[in-house]
Amino acid sequence: MAKSMAKLLPTVLLAPALMTATLLFSQTQAISPAWAGTCASRCGPKPLQFTPGQRVSVEVVNQTASLVQVQKVFGTDPVPMRPGQELKFVQGGGTEPNISVYFWDETALPLQARLSQPNPKTLRIEIRPGGRPPGDRSVYLLNDGRVAIF
């Protein structure tokens, strides 16, 4: 009886492994190749990057239909911007602190900041209506040259 049990043992151990392998291979054939992809296919635009310490020209454009207040931290009092108005200033280089720009709608509507880099030394901030309340409120150029929206 021990000999017959020894003959059955490999079959008993091998059967679950074969069933598992069959299930795995049959399932992988059903997976769509569209699931596989790289970040390049869905990662969005390249993040903005400036060289740390370089002088950066900042353009702020009010793309809303109402009055927007804009303030460059460590540099200006709030400046009212009419719809369509553009404000420019230069920041960075030397011992000046990083760029922080705060903005808010006079009627308390949520705003959305759209950032672009038209050239290597220019940050363009387009202030648009929309977004989830409270909306975007500031743009900050970090020490490492990246740009963040808060």
**Quick one: pLDDT at residue 17?**
53
**Residue-level pLDDT at 142:** 86
Buried-state track 94-114, b at ≥16 Cβ within 10 A, e below 16? eeeeebbbebbbeeebebbbe
Q: For the chain, percent helix, then strand, then coil, each to nearest 5?
A: 25, 35, 40
Q: pLDDT value at position 50?
A: 86
pLDDT at position 144, please?
86
Identify the segments of the chain with pLDDT beneath 50.
Answer: 9, 18, 21-34
Which phi and psi angles does 123 have, rounded to 5°? -110, 120
In a 3-state reduction of DSSP, which class is residue 117? Answer: strand
Question: What is d(CA 44, CA 36) in angstroms, rounded to the nearest whole number?
Answer: 17
pLDDT at residue 143, as a whole number = 83
- pTM here? 0.69
pLDDT value of residue 31? 44
- If you search the block for the tokens 């809303």, which residue do you land on? 64
**In this predicted structure, what is the pLDDT of residue 39?**
61
Structure-block tokens of residue 139: 């743009």
Pairing verdict, β 86-91 and 56-62: antiparallel
Looking at residue 131, its pLDDT comes to 81
pLDDT of residue 44: 67
